[in-house]
Amino acid sequence: MAVTQDDVRHVADLARIGVDPARLEPLVAELNGILAHMDELSKVDTIAIESAALVSIPLDSTPLRSDSSGPLKMMTQKESFAASMKDGFFIVPRLATHEDATDSPP
């Protein structure tokens, strides 16, 4: 299952990462180099593996708590770390599909 330039473009789009065209071919080579080592896993028989073996720690050690805790207590206002805010809301660029958008992005 060799990765192609189209695959890299596709997953980059899914991951919302812009990839410089000059980096496409090196990324194809790097990902194929890494994934070649992963192919070893296909030879392992895992049919008999019990689902319990997939759990790495005893389940009874992490009991569910009641879903009642309030919002996390913050020591500073969210305005202090947000990229941009207005009237208590995070500001983002308008979607390009909103053709009537007149506000410029912050």
Partner 1 sequence: MTIPDFARLSATALAAKISNGSVSAVDAVDASIARAKAAGAGADSLNIYLWTDDDLARRDAQSIADGMKRAGIGGRLSGIPLAVKDNIATLGLPTTCASKILAGYVSPYEATAITRLREEGAIVVAKTNMDEFAMGSSTENSAYGPARNPLDVRRVPGGSSGGSAAAVAAGIVPLALGSETGGSVRQPAAFCGVVGVKPTYGRVSRHGLVAFASSLDQIGPIARNVDDAALATEIIAGLDANDSTSSSTKVGSYRDQYLSLASSPMPLDGVTIGVPQEYFPDVLDPGIRSLCERSIDTLKSLGAKILDVEMPNTKLAIPVYYIVAPAEASSNLARFDGVRYGARAMSSSLREMYADTRSNGFGPEVTRRILLGTYVLSAGYYDAYYKKAQAVRGLITRDFRDVFGRGIDALFTPTTPTTAFPIGAISDPYEMYLSDIFTATSNLAGVPAMSLPIGRVGGLPVGGQIIASHFCESTMFRVAYALEAALGGEAHQ
Catalog residues that contact partner 1 under the rule CB under 8 A.
Answer: 1, 3, 7-8, 10-12, 14-20, 27, 30-31, 33-35, 37-38, 40-42, 44, 46, 49-51, 53-58, 61-65, 69, 72-78, 80-84, 90, 92-96, 105-106
Token pair 């596709």 in the structure block, residue:
10
CA 55, chain centre distance (Å): 23
What is the nearest approach in angstroms of partner 1 to the Cβ of residue 22?
A: 13
What is the nearest approach in angstroms of partner 1 to the Cβ of residue 100?
A: 14
Cα four-point dihedral sign 48, 53, 55, 58:
positive
Using CA atoms, how far apart are residues 34 and 91, in angstroms rounded to an integer? 39
What is the nearest approach in angstroms of partner 1 to the Cβ of residue 82?
A: 6
Q: Between 34 and 86, name the residue whose CB sits nearer to partner 1.
A: 34
What is the nearest approach in angstroms of partner 1 to the Cβ of residue 102?
A: 13
Q: What is the CA radius of gyration of the chain?
A: 23
Using CA atoms, how far apart are residues 12 and 27, in angstroms rounded to an integer? 11
